[in-house]
Structure 1
């Protein structure tokens, strides 16, 4: 359940980035700006899972890849379609 909520948070962050990009006239760039922001947030989630929740890096890494990849792929598709 936590993984789904984190991915929904990623989609919400993507929506905020795209809205800001739409308002500023840089819609495509906003989709690409989202990716390093989301990498930092997903990395923080990984760190919390390993340091505080007691998971090993080996257990948490596939979750990190899923959490990071799904919203990032959508961002790349938005960027690709807008160019």
Structure 2
């Protein structure tokens, strides 16, 4: 359940980045592409913090947490990359 909540949190961060881009940069694909470019490293850090908490506090090994990290980072990142692809084509 924790993993699902973290993934949903990542998707919420993506939405917030996109909303901020719309408010600050206006309409059009340019600001949205910038938002996606900013989201990816931001979410990587967030997912890495989740990995660190799993290792340091929950007692899992890095080998146990790494697949979870890939899912936690990969889900929202895949949505962001799909959005980036769509925006850059149109």
Q: What TM-score do you get using the length of structure 2 for normalisation?
A: 0.89
In the alignment, is residue 27 of structure 1 matched against residue 32 of structure 2? Answer: yes
- CA apart distance, 1:77: 0.9
Structure 1, unaligned runs of 5 or more: none
Q: After superposition, where does 1:1-83 map in structure 2 within 5 Å?
A: 1-23=1-23, 24-25=25-26, 26-83=31-88
Quick check: which has more Rg, 1 or 2?
2
C-alpha RMSD of matched pairs (Å): 0.7
C-alpha contact (below 8 Å) 1:43/1:64 kept by paired residues:
yes
- CA apart distance, 1:32: 1.5
- CA apart distance, 1:52: 0.5
